[in-house]
Amino acid sequence: MTLEDARRLDAADPLRDYRERFDLPEGVVYLDGNSLGALPKDTPARLEQVVRGEWGNGLIRSWNDADWITLPQRVGAKIAPLIGAEADEVIVCDSVSVNLFKLIGAALNMRPGRKVILSEPGNFPTDLYMIAGLEAQGLAERRLAAPGDLEAALDGDVALLMLTHVHYKAGRTHDMVRLTRAAQDAGALVLWDLSHSGGAVPVDLAACNADFAVGCGYKYLNGGPGAPAYAYVAKRHHAALSQPLTGWMGHAAPFAFTDDYAPAPGASRLLAGTPGILGIAALEVGVDLIAEIGINRLAAKSRALSEFFRKCAAEKLPDLELVSPLDPLARGSQLSFRHTQANAICQALIARGIIGDFRDPDILRFGFAPAYVSFEDVFLAAEGLADIISTRAWDKPEFQQRAAVT
């Protein structure tokens, strides 16, 4: 694999022009879009319009005149086709964590007599942590089973199977169709966390008959740091949906200012407080761009990029342990490797302008955001990684310290 190979692949890439739609810093190879997506070039102007025009000039009138009030539903409807959902099954609101709480609560309400939330050890921490508060309240009971044991762990106590489609660390995917069916056969509901899928990996919530899902706005959807998240509720549950965060924006008539709660129709009842307009407006720009490219083209390029990286790395670093599946169809838009010096290697790469990330204790992770990562990026990153490992360039005191956020 050579730089020329990479450039040939870039020249033939049908998505090559989309890189210009992002504002990427000079001299940086960015393989961490799975943690924070890059800035779309249209975002600053859109935010300027929202801030100066809609807020500064329109003031309170913009809730009506700029239609802020339906922004959560509008952006949710744009995310829907990326995950195999219908427009009114998806809404943008709060964070992934808060949305997990709502939907775990909804599942417990729908399965009285069952308290177990089944997940896997090593799932993304917040998914597991969000069960803890409900456990302390006596409402839920956490059960963890390794991927191969999940189906055996589905008994009559399980209210909800809650899994992340693409594992944040290993990058492996779950079989959504099979696990959803197994859980539903056992009388449980299913919640899929699409944080590491949506916008890069094909998901078909309708085809797998999912009950609930959540996903992240700041990774492959390029919504900006801490962007609002999204939540999905299958239409068949809309009428009965009852979730615990019963705020005024999820009320059937918020501006009637009545004392008693009555839920808004469908997924809109997932809203709690006043939606953060700046955050959702920025997210909309990223979603528009990803939706314009389309999930099938993104997924095809994602697989080609990760395969190219894998082959480059295998050629230069035959001993480096790959943690992610070899089969590109069995993994998300990332590759993870194990190395005892993962943190120092990650720091050394960043010092050279090659940004991946480190996941405690020994994982080096590279994400391939297909909308803007090039094959040349991938080649340069693999080359830098090989050089740092083979020359032990990581072995400097300044690369040993652990950053506050990794």
Q: How many residues bind a copy of itself (CB under 8 A)?
A: 97
* Piece of the chain touching a copy of itself by CB under 8 A; list 43-51, 150-158, 174-182, 328-336: 43-51
User: 297 is written with which tokens?
Assistant: 């083209």
280 touches 72 (CB < 8 A): yes
User: Between 199 and 279, whose beta carbon lies closer to a copy of itself?
Assistant: 279
The residue within the footprint of a copy of itself, chosen from 9, 36, 163, 241 (CB under 8 A), is: 36
For residues 6-35, which are near a copy of itself according to CB under 8 A?
Answer: 23-25, 28, 30, 32, 35
193 is catalytic: yes
User: Minimal distance in Å, beta carbon 44 to a copy of itself?
Assistant: 5
CB atoms within 10 A of CB 12: 10
Rounded CA separation 26/211 (Å) = 43
Is residue 387 at the binding interface for a copy of itself, with CB under 8 A as the rule?
A: no
For residues 298-337, which are near a copy of itself according to CB under 8 A?
Answer: none
User: Minimal distance in Å, beta carbon 12 to a copy of itself?
Assistant: 27
| Nearest in space to 265 (alpha carbons), one of 279, 278, 252 | 252
User: Minimal distance in Å, beta carbon 220 to a copy of itself?
Assistant: 14
The residue within the footprint of a copy of itself, chosen from 84, 198, 279, 370 (CB under 8 A), is: 279
* Piece of the chain touching a copy of itself by CB under 8 A; list 10-18, 179-187, 237-245, 372-380: 237-245
Which residues is 355 bridged to in the sheet? Answer: 30
Binding site feature residues for pyridoxal 5'-phosphate: 97, 124-127, 164, 193, 196, 218, 248, 274
C-alpha dihedral (333, 150, 104, 275), degrees to nearest 10: 0
* Piece of the chain touching a copy of itself by CB under 8 A; list 81-89, 178-186, 296-304, 398-406: 398-406
Rg (CA), the chain: 22
User: Minimal distance in Å, beta carbon 147 to a copy of itself?
Assistant: 15
User: Minimal distance in Å, beta carbon 191 to a copy of itself?
Assistant: 15
User: Between 170 and 295, whose beta carbon lies closer to a copy of itself?
Assistant: 170
User: 387 is written with which tokens?
Assistant: 């050089």
Measured in whole angstroms, how far is the alpha carbon of residue 201 from the centre of its chain? Answer: 10
379 is catalytic: no
> In this structure, what are the phi and psi dihedrals at residue 26, rounded to the nearest 5 degrees?
-60, 140
The span from the first CA to the last CA of the chain, in angstroms, equals 30
Rounded CA separation 38/370 (Å) = 11
363 touches 378 (CB < 8 A): no
For residues 85-104, which are near a copy of itself according to CB under 8 A?
Answer: 94-98, 101
243 touches 231 (CB < 8 A): no
Rounded CA separation 331/172 (Å) = 4
User: Between 114 and 208, whose beta carbon lies closer to a copy of itself?
Assistant: 114
User: Minimal distance in Å, beta carbon 376 to a copy of itself?
Assistant: 18
Phi/psi-derived region of residue 303, left when phi > 0, alpha when psi is between -120 and 50, beta in every other case: alpha
* Piece of the chain touching a copy of itself by CB under 8 A; list 123-131, 148-156, 179-187, 315-323: 123-131
